[in-house]
């Protein structure tokens, strides 16, 4: 099933430009009353919506039930546009615990 994201939108910051809706490759955002609304069951945590949002109104949290995650980093190009997005993120899988093992 892969990594799932939980999208949160700060509607006090959102300007309603809909760039996030246009960009989302899995249609995890829809427009309701002129504003984007997340459909978290579809989100694949690509962070594209975070990168393209000019108002910094969107955050994505990794759904911990979909993957063991200990660290996520996003580097964002503040000059990014809908047609020119540059971002990198890194997800590390949690390593098995070594408790109870003798050495």
* 102 assigned to some structural domain: no
* 53 assigned to some structural domain: yes
Report the CATH number at residue 64.
3.30.70.20
| Residue-wise pLDDT tens digits, 8-51 | 999 999 999 999 999 999 999 999 999 999 999 999 998 999 99
Q: Which domain holds residue 19?
A: 5-93
- Evaluate whether 20 touches 5 at the Cβ level (below 8 Å): no
| Window from 3-7, 43-47, 57-61, 86-90 with minimum mean pLDDT | 86-90
Task: Give me the mean pLDDT over the 73-97 stretch.
Answer: 49
The answer to whether the pTM exceeds 0.75 is no
* 45 assigned to some structural domain: yes
Residue 10, both tokens: 């700060």
Distances (CA, A) of 97 to 37, 72, 100, 101: 38, 20, 9, 9
C-alpha span between 35 and 7 (Å, rounded):
14
Distances (CA, A) of 48 to 6, 56, 81, 99, 100: 13, 12, 11, 38, 41
* pLDDT exceeds 70 at position 95: no
For the chain, the domain total comes to 1
* 99 assigned to some structural domain: no
- The count of other CB atoms within 10 Å of the CB of residue 77 is 12
Q: Write down the mean pLDDT value for the chain.
A: 77
* 22 assigned to some structural domain: yes
């Amino acid at each position: 099933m892969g990594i799932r994201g939980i999208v949160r939108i700060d509607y006090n910051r959102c300007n309603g430009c809909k760039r996030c809706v246009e960009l989302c490759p899995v249609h995890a955002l829809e427009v309701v009353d002129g504003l984007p609304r997340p459909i978290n069951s579809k989100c694949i945590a690509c962070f594209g919506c975070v990168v393209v949002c000019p108002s910094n109104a969107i955050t994505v949290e990794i759904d911990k039930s979909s993957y063991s995650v200990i660290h996520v980093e996003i580097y964002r190009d503040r000059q990014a546009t809908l047609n020119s997005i540059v971002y990198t993120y890194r997800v590390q899988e949690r390593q098995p615990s070594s408790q109870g093992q003798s050495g």
